[in-house]
């Protein structure tokens, strides 16, 4: 099992802007945020969960739109489909968690199961998809993918949308509108304090 420290070390070995490096850094941050949510209480716990939820939403959208079509060619259709299916399921659980009171034991129980699924998913990507991308794509292509990933994530939804999760085509069609709604909702929530 990898750790946030291992993921950051692996990312540091890759060229700046490489799509795999960016995703490894995000995997490490996701691990950090899970730890933060589990160790926090009250308002801090809610803020940490909101940050985790937003990072997972944009991260998965970026993977589905930028990484997954290339992984389908390099790692195979079965591998890409399995990761998309996992992301669709994760979106459903994330919607449920988002509706829960973070101070409850039920939230903590659901979060623990969700964390395991997310970490298993990330490790499959790191063991199956990322090596295929590194093997079959030039450094220039990986940097180009990294640029596209970062641009996509800037306009990606910040809340889970199970209806489009797991489908790159649906992400391209619905994602920009969902992102506008999500980011407006986030601004209003932060303004309300």
Q: What is the pLDDT of residue 155?
A: 83
DSSP state of 26: H
Q: Which residues contact 34 (CB under 8 A, 6 or more apart)?
A: 52, 111, 115, 118, 119
Q: Which residues contact 85 (CB under 8 A, 6 or more apart)?
A: 166
C-alpha closest to that of 170 among 156, 191, 188: 156
Q: Which residues contact 58 (CB under 8 A, 6 or more apart)?
A: 153, 156, 157, 158
pTM recorded for the entire structure: 0.87
Neighbours of 150 (CB within 10 A): 14
134: left (phi over 0), alpha (psi -120 to 50) or beta: alpha
- Sign of the dihedral defined by the CA atoms of residues 166, 162, 178, 61, in that order: negative
Q: What is the pLDDT of residue 187?
A: 62
Q: What is the pLDDT of residue 91?
A: 87
Mean pLDDT of successive 10-residue stretches along the chain, which has 193 residues: 89 97 98 97 96 94 93 96 92 93 97 97 97 98 97 82 62 56 61 67
Q: How many residues does the chain have?
A: 193
User: What 3-state class would DSSP assign to 137?
Assistant: coil
- Up-side HSE of residue 102: CA atoms within 13 Å toward CB? 20
């Amino acid at each position: 099992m990898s750790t946030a420290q291992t993921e950051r070390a692996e990312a540091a070995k890759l060229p700046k802007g490489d799509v795999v490096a960016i995703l490894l850094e995000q995997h490490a941050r996701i691990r950090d945020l899970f730890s933060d949510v589990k160790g926090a209480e009250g308002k801090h716990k809610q803020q940490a969960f909101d940050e985790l939820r937003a990072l997972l939403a944009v991260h998965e959208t970026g993977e589905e739109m930028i990484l997954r079509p290339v992984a389908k060619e390099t790692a195979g259709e079965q591998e890409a489909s399995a990761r998309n299916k996992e992301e669709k399921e994760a979106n459903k659980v994330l919607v449920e968690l988002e509706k829960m009171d973070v101070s409850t034991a039920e939230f903590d129980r659901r979060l623990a199961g969700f964390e395991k699924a997310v970490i298993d998913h990330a490790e499959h990507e790191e063991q199956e998809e990322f090596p295929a991308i590194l093997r079959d794509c030039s450094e220039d292509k990986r940097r180009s993918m990294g640029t596209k990933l970062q641009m996509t994530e800037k306009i990606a939804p910040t809340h889970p949308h199970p209806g489009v999760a797991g489908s790159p085509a649906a992400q391209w069609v619905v994602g920009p509108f969902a992102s506008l709604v999500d980011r407006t909702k986030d601004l209003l929530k932060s303004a309300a304090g």
